[in-house]
A and B are shown apart, each in its own frame.
Chain A
Amino acid sequence: MKIWIVLLVALVAAVIVAACAGHDWASPADLVRAVSGDQAMRSRLLFEWRMPRVLAAALVGALLGLGGAMFQGVFRNPLAEPYLLGSAGGAGLGAAIALLVPLGAPQSIMLPLLAFVGAWGSTVVVIAVSRVAGAVDTAGMLLAGVAVAALLTALRSFLILALSDETMNLQVVLSWILGGVQTPTWGGLGLLALVSLACLGLTMLFARGLDVLGLGEAMASTFGVNVKRFIGLAVLAGSVVVAAAVAFGGLVAFVGLASPHIARWLIGSRHKPLLPASALIGAIVVTLADAIARSALPPAEIPLGLVTAIAGAPFFIVLLARRLRA
């Protein structure tokens, strides 16, 4: 119980710090003024722009933590991460199309939509390919994932080269690929919150199955789990979570890999507490990383995925070393 309170307090603190952070730092008093309907331009900037972004970052982080925990559970591999089955390649291709091809619809809709379709679609293709190949096991899916990812990434790169010109469109796609939370409207944020809750609910359905699967596939079969079917469904569910994260946050490196490990060290490996804990940790990490991305190098913004990897990797290594020594 204590650990949940600690995590929740940490998340609230991270959100407040992040809402203060920017090229123009705000005080908590400024935040209160902005929330209470002050119409000054600075307050409106905080309320209309920075706060939705901070909360979106937290939710994107939560989705990544959740997706990472699902994938590590299904593949029973500490190196499993949310982009394992080609979703990064598919999302990148979708985003490149949305950013470079004039489609006649507003980019603020097309970008998340095509990123989602690309991310989820690529995983569906991976499962289909491994079915056709008769290998709906984790090894078959991993290999199919590598192949599909290579194909999609190459298509994306070709598209970028073919469509980029003197105005450096290349950089637009690259900076999306390196991750960055899109700032939603409050309505969009509400949608993201609903999607996140639905994702949490969806993944919790798999919690017991993942625990049983952790005992080994043979053992899981004796418990009455149809292993192949379960793995297929769990991967589909996990990739919906990841695709939602990608649609709102681009490709954010490392969070989906690290959060479930940290959660496991804190509360053990049973999935019922592990899934929400991993989501909370992902939320805390991405909220803070996004605050750094937005404020560290004014007037520029560092791509979020670079911050999570540069700040996250050493931190993760220290935790890992302490864990292994203990």
Chain B
Amino acid sequence: MRRFGRLVLLTALALGGDAAAEPIVVRDAFERTVVLPTPPQRIVTIFASNVEMVAALGLSDRIVGIEAYTRYPPEVLSKPLVGGRLGFSVDRVVEQRPDLVVVTPARQAAHQLVDPMERLGIPVMVLLQRDVAEVLANIRLLGRAAGVPQQGEAVASGLETRIAAVTRRVAGLERPRVIMITGRLGNGLLLVTRPKTYTGDAMVLAGARFGLESAIAQVSPEAILNADPDILLFAGNQRDLDELVARPGWRDLRAVKGKRAFAVSRSELLIPGPRTIDGIEHLAAIFHPEKAAR
């Protein structure tokens, strides 16, 4: 009898609460309406950014599939792989019996997964996080989709508070001209951060302005030498930065001579997610060291 009572109680708890009765309906970045009959418990998250946002909501244990280039947080790394650089496996996703698939339209993911999931009736959400505002909006959206809206709100507003603290600190300060190199191509061209990207947002929020505004991400080294920024950032390790700035021409850059060339974290600045806010704080300390001591 007591056992029965406990069962009734558990059932009541499962059915009650805030979300179980009505289906959850959200709109995604492709303006698709996604209907979740119950809060999803088995989520396949494609790409590091989506994994990190779901994990930030405290839902790592609901993740049942990731792709091969996910490196964080540690507790999800043992989850089954459903894709990698060469694409994504519909077979492998379905094998995980997911009740939600979260993708971003990069590396064919949306192209390869949205259509089959729709045909099979597995809810799939497409998220775009092109700038910091979209990152925050998506954390809230994922919170609502997963049936934990308060958590989404709490995480997002916590991050907003930290961003506001940084922008207050750097307000009114002289903005250094900054170029961030995010990659090197085989033909010698360099990839630089552009405005209106989350990485570009991070630079501006942290109190910098662009040392070089290029319509195309690939620029020649000459353009960077010519722009002669106050601060040079390199998203990668120190050794590669040292090797780059030791080249003829680079040694004479104002940033290199003034010891203001820095290697910065790729995972903070090239994965749009909660850790981007860490990146903003770290950039602010680089741009305005005098104000960094909080």
Q: How far is the CA of A302 from the CA of B86 in the complex (A)?
A: 7
Known: A41-B94, A41-B120, A162-B216. A299 touches B115 (CB 8 A): no
**Using Cβ atoms and an 8 Å threshold, which residues of chain A touch B116?**
45, 48-49, 183
A186 to chain B, nearest CB (A): 10
**Contacting B218 at CB < 8 Å: which of A161, A183, A301?**
A161
> Are B119 and A185 touching (Cβ within 8 A)?
yes
Contacts A162-B216, A302-B86 known; A24 to B120 CB distance under 8 Å?
Answer: no
Q: Name the segment of A124-132, A165-173, A213-221 touching the other chain.
A: A165-173
Chain A interface: which of B16-24, B100-108, B132-140?
Answer: B100-108
Specify the chain B residue showing the minimal Cβ separation from A299.
B89
Q: Closest CB-CB distance, A239 to chain B, in whole Å?
A: 26
Is B85 engaged at the interface, CB distance under 8 Å to the other chain? yes
What is the CA–CA distance of A172 and B270 in the complex, to the nearest angstrom? Answer: 19
Are A300 and B106 neighbours in the complex by a CB distance under 8 Å?
A: no
> In the bound complex, how far is the Cα of B111 from the Cα of A207, in angstroms?
39
Residue-wise, chain A 133-174 has the 8 Å CB interface mask toward B (1 for contact) of 000000000000000000000000000011011111101100
Which residues, 269 to 303 on A, are CB-close (under 8 Å) to B? 297-303
0/1 string, B180-217, CB within 8 A of A gives 1: 00100000000100100101000000000000000111
Asked if A42 lies at the interface with its beta carbon under 8 angstroms from chain B, I say yes
CA–CA, A286 and B105, complex, Å:
28
User: Which B-chain residue is minimally distant from A49 (CB atoms)?
Assistant: B116
B262 interface hit (Cβ, 8 Å): no
Given contacts A45-B91, A48-B119, A167-B106, contact A300 B84 (CB under 8 A): yes
* Across-interface contacts of A183 in B (CB, < 8 A): 115-116
Task: Tell me which residues across on chain B come within 8 A of A162, comparing CB atoms.
Answer: 215-216
Q: Shortest Cβ distance from A147 into chain B, in angstroms?
A: 25
Q: Is the CB of A24 within 8 A of B91?
A: yes
Chain B residues near A24 (CB-CB < 8 A): 91-92, 94-95
Q: Which residues of B contact A49 (CB under 8 A)?
A: 90, 116, 119-120
**Is the Cβ of B86 less than 8 Å from the Cβ of A23?**
no
**Once bound together, how far apart are the Cα atoms of A167 and B108, in whole Å?**
10
Assess whether B87 is interfacial by the CB under 8 Å rule: yes
29 A-B contact pairs sorted by A residue (CB < 8 Å) = A23-B89, A23-B92, A23-B95, A24-B92, A24-B94, A24-B95, A41-B97, A41-B120, A42-B94, A45-B90, A45-B91, A48-B116, A48-B120, A49-B119, A108-B115, A162-B216, A165-B197, A166-B182, A166-B270, A168-B106, A171-B107, A172-B111, A298-B91, A299-B82, A300-B87, A300-B89, A301-B88, A302-B86, A303-B86
Task: List residues of chain B with CB under 8 Å of any chain A CB.
Answer: 68, 81-92, 94-95, 97, 104-108, 111-112, 115-116, 119-121, 182, 191, 194, 197, 199, 215-218, 270
Query: Known contacts A44-B121, A99-B111, A300-B84; can you find 9 more A-B pairs with CB under 8 A?
Result: A42-B94, A49-B119, A108-B115, A165-B194, A167-B104, A169-B106, A171-B107, A299-B84, A299-B88
Which A residues are within 8 Å of any B CB, using their own CB? 22-24, 41-42, 44-45, 48-49, 99, 107-108, 161-162, 164-169, 171-172, 175, 183, 185, 297-303
